Amino acid sequence: MDLALTDADLAFQAEVREFIDTYWPEDVRRARATSSRFEESRGHSPEVRRWIDALNERGWAVPNWPQAWGGTDWNPTQKYIWDKETAKAECPQLSAFGARMLAPVLYTWGTDAQKNEFLPKIREERMIWCQGYSEPGAGSDLAGLATRAVREGDEYVVNGTKLWTSGAHVADWMFCLVRTESGGKKQEGISFVLIDMKTPGITVNPVYILGGIHSVNEVELKDVRVPVENLVGEENKGWTYAKGLLTHERTGIAGVARSEVQLARLKRIAQDTGMDGGSLWDDAAFRTRVTELEVELEALSVTELRVLAQVAQGGAPGPESSILKIRGTEIGQAIAMMTIEAFGYYGMPYPEQTLIDNEGPIGNPYVMPTMKGMLYGRASSIFGGSNEIQKNIISKAVLGL
């Protein structure tokens, strides 16, 4: 057991920092962090595009992929350094649905044609994906999904309704779970298909969430014809692939590095917030609560390192990754709530975007992004398998109950 960085690690860290400072410089960082536009609905600015192009040129776009598809040869420490540094600078990430969730499924189970067609575009962020799993009747009970795909010649004909589909309104493609066989166990008979969002028969209806944010949608599929070559893996085996993918989704959701950034920001905001002639940071009660969060976060950060080390020695993250998801989202939510609390009365203003554009923010420039993040963040304990479901998984798979 050893936590120290070697000279080689330190040199790598310096290289990473220089890269970030060049392509994602301080002023761009701040502009994005204080933007009152919600991240998922604001698309790719020229700065984000430039960053992603630079990543691809340098070969650093998808460190975790196999090297054959553009991954790096970094050891776990280097990956850790990369994650930490990019999180600290709040560098934009490739859309998670493509790069973090679908890609592992494709490079593990996809056909050569699928890999060649999709992986480079995902890596370059030239094809945006959405995840069509949940349905009105199939939330936590995902295997209860009812969208049907019936084979007709070389095509599947898909009918059904997907709900809560993040980014469907901007996505080029959707990876989708469909029922290809009924009867039997409900986990069997599910297939994993890739659907071009331009296919006739697809209607995307916005679903607005708290704060007026448009990030999720209802996707209606009516006689949508999908070529059979867009089936991933074997028919009726989709559940296996989807589950593998969900484990990747869970570790991503932990957001330790992001929480560290938010916690540091919370402290700065508390230092800048006046209270009784001094600052809020001088208030023992507030400071104690922030510090408690910091200790919890540190514990989680080490737990995450342990999971990553396990992954590095081969194998996917196990049911332990549920810990990351549960604690990570709880801590993230608590930090967001405390930041809102730090703003005091200035947590309340929620002006129209045009007013902000014309007259600037009201109070601290971080209020709007924090509020939107706080509201959206309530969903983090609901999606990706709710925290209750995660606890069911731990009690079953780890505790043997």
Ligand X SMILES: Cc1cc2nc3c(=O)[nH]c(=O)nc-3n(C[C@H](O)[C@H](O)[C@H](O)COP(=O)(O)OP(=O)(O)OC[C@H]3O[C@@H](n4cnc5c(N)ncnc54)[C@H](O)[C@@H]3O)c2cc1C
Write the CA distances from 297 to 250, 275, 289, 335, 383, integer angstroms. 17, 26, 12, 10, 21
Sites of contact with ligand X (CB under 6 A): 130-134, 139-140, 164-166, 209, 216, 379, 382-383, 386, 388-389, 392
Nearer to other proteins, 298 or 388 (CB): 388
Helix (H, G, I), strand (E, B) or coil at 152: strand
Nearer to ligand X, 208 or 288 (CB): 208
Nearer to other proteins, 164 or 192 (CB): 164
State the binding partner of 346 from other proteins, ligand X, none, CB within 5 to 8 A by kind. other proteins
Q: Where are the alpha helices (DSSP H) in 140-283?
A: 238-254, 256-272
- What string of DSSP letters covers 268-312? HHHHHSEETTEEGGG-HHHHHHHHHHHHHHHHHHHHHHHHHHHHH
Q: Which is nearer to ligand X, 248 or 267 (CB)?
A: 248
Neighbours of 378 (CB within 10 A): 14
Least distance (Å) between residue 299 CB and other proteins: 22
381 binds, among ligand X, other proteins, none (CB under 5 to 8 A by kind): other proteins
- CB nearer ligand X, residue 138 or residue 308: 138
Residue nearest to ligand X (CB): 139
Instruction: Give Cβ neighbours of residue 269 (< 8 Å, ≥ 6 apart).
Output: 339, 342, 343, 364, 366
Kindly state the smallest distance separating residue 353's Cβ from other proteins, in Å.
12
Nearer to ligand X, 56 or 161 (CB): 161
Closest separation in Å from C-beta 304 to ligand X: 22
Which of ligand X, other proteins, none has residue 131 at its interface (CB below 5 to 8 Å by kind)? ligand X
Cα separation, 41 vs 29, whole angstroms: 18
Cα–Cα distances in Å, from 21 out to 26, 52, 118?
7, 14, 30
When the beta carbons of 60 and 350 are compared against other proteins, the nearer one is: 350
133 binds, among other proteins, ligand X, none (CB under 5 to 8 A by kind): ligand X
Q: How far is the CB of 205 from ligand X (least distance, A)?
A: 14
Q: Out of ligand X, other proteins, none, which partner does residue 348 contact, by CB within 5 to 8 A per kind?
A: other proteins
Q: In Å, how far are 224, 385, 388, 390, 392 from 382, measured between CA atoms? A: 29, 6, 9, 10, 14
Question: Which does residue 276 touch among ligand X, other proteins, none (CB within 5 to 8 A, set by kind)?
Answer: other proteins
- State the minimum distance, in angstroms, from the CB of residue 173 to other proteins: 22
Query: Contact positions toward other proteins, by CB under 8 A?
Result: 134, 137, 139-141, 144, 163-164, 207-212, 216, 273-277, 280, 283, 285-286, 289, 333, 337, 340-341, 343-352, 355, 359, 362-363, 371, 375, 378-379, 381-383, 386-388, 391
Closest distance of CB 359 from other proteins, Å: 7
What is the H or E stretch that residue 202 is in?
Answer: strand 202-209
Which helix (H) or strand (E) is 175 found in, with range?
Answer: strand 173-179
Q: Give the whole-angstrom CA distance, residue 107 versus residue 93.
A: 20
